[in-house]
């Protein structure tokens, strides 16, 4: 999950050299969209299983991704594009993104309530197998497989398509890319869209395990930003690696020490990376991920 969310941060940073702090709320809106979509086609207390469970997961992921993508485009049009046209300083972009984040959090709280809402139980077949004493459930395997599939898709998209080439060219040198005929506004919109699609899908997958709430994006968003910095902010594969490392480190810390150390470990890693290797594991530019 950290890797999927981190990709939204790293894509936008690679193109605009800015951090989209409203991305955590795109993640949140995707979670709500997937939740309501699944609830709309299921009955309360319905015993779900088999093929229908898989179909509902796919349905929830697609709806969450669609709403996440649209939300990300709205954020770009409202909070970023007007400032770019006016040549605003970078601080203005930061304040605008934070303002958009607070707006979406409170709007969702007003419309959907401020208490956690559980996603209907889609898998009821219990433990599939055990690894070193830890139970592995069907839902966890589905979440893991979905996340890995989306990560591979994005890597191929950025490195193997014309739009991906445009994203990498703008990340490397926006002015030269513009002179070569690249539509900068279109590429920026596509960058937000792709990040939003992944963030929204991740929101529903996250909600399957931890419920959906208007504030659900804050902690995962900050940790995903940590993962992006760890891997190398602006580098797609770095964000993937950083998210996986951070998640594993957190859970090993919980298993070996205590659950109260989870957040300490995550932000301790962020401080160490910034002190010892500020550019992260794989550098800093999206264009270098090729």
SS (H, E, C) 25-56: HHHHHHHHHHHHHHHHCCCCCCCCCCHHHHHH
Checking if the pLDDT of 290 tops 70, the result is: no
- Structure token digits, residue 23: 């991305």
Per-residue pLDDT of 10-51, as tens digits, reads 988 888 888 898 999 999 999 999 999 999 998 877 777 778
Q: Where are the domains of the chain?
A: 2-212
Instruction: State yes or no: pLDDT of 83 exceeds 80.
Output: yes
CB 19 within 8 A of CB 12: yes
What was the pLDDT predicted at 122?
83
| Residue predicted with more confidence, 159 or 62 | 62
Average pLDDT of span 81-95: 90
Q: What's the pLDDT band for 287 if we cut at 50, 70, 90?
A: very low
103-154 pLDDT, tens digit per residue, is 999 999 999 999 999 988 887 767 778 887 778 888 888 888 888 888 888 8
**Phi, psi at 244, each rounded to 5°:** -65, -45
Collapse the DSSP code of 135 into the 3-class scheme (helix H, G, I; strand E, B; otherwise coil) and give the result. Answer: strand
Residue 283's pLDDT band, with cuts at 50, 70 and 90, is low
pLDDT of residue 137: 83
The pLDDT assigned to 193 comes to: 94
- pLDDT grade for 289, boundaries at 50, 70 and 90: very low
pLDDT surpasses 70 at 62: yes
Q: Tell me what the pLDDT averaged over the chain comes to.
A: 88
What's the CA gap between 214 and 29, in Å, rounded? 8
pLDDT at 275: 85
Is pLDDT of 206 > 90? yes
Spatial separation of the C-alpha atoms in residues 192 and 161, rounded to whole Å: 17
pLDDT for res 286: 45
Amino acid 151: pLDDT: 87
**Rounded percentage of the chain residues whose pLDDT exceeds 70:** 96
Residues 265-275 have pLDDT tens digits of 888 888 888 88
Contact 131, 65 (CB under 8 A): no
Average pLDDT on 183-205 reads 93
Give the pLDDT confidence score for residue 102 in this predicted structure.
95
Q: What pLDDT shows up at residue 125?
A: 65
């Amino acid at each position: 999950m950290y890797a999927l969310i981190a990709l939204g941060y790293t894509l936008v940073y690679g193109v605009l050299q800015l951090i989209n702090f409203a991305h955590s709320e795109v993640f949140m809106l995707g979670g709500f969209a997937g939740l309501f979509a699944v609830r709309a086609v299921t009955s309360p207390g319905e015993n779900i299983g088999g093929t229908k469970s898989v179909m509902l997961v796919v349905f929830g992921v697609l709806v969450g991704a669609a709403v996440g993508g649209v939300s990300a485009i709205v954020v770009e049009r409202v909070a970023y594009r007007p400032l770019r046209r006016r040549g605003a300083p970078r601080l203005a972009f930061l304040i605008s993104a934070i303002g958009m984040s607070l707006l979406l959090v409170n709007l969702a709280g007003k419309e959907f309530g401020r208490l956690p809402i559980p996603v209907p139980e889609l898998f009821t077949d219990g433990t599939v197998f055990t690894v070193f004493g830890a139970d592995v459930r069907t839902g966890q395997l589905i979440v893991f497989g979905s996340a890995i599939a989306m990560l591979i898709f994005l890597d191929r998209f950025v490195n193997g398509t014309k739009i991906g080439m445009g994203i990498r060219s703008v990340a490397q040198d926006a002015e030269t890319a513009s002179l070569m005929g690249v539509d900068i506004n279109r590429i920026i919109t596509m960058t937000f869209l792709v990040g939003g699609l992944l963030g929204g899908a991740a929101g529903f997958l996250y909600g399957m395990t931890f419920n959906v709430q208007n504030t659900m994006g804050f902690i995962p968003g900050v940790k995903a930003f940590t993962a992006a910095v760890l891997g190398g902010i602006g580098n797609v594969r770095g964000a993937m690696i950083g998210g996986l490392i951070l998640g594993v480190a957190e859970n090993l810390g919980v298993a070996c020490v205590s659950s109260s150390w989870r957040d300490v470990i995550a932000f301790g890693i962020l401080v160490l990376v910034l002190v010892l290797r500020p550019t992260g594991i794989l550098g800093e530019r999206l264009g270098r991920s090729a």
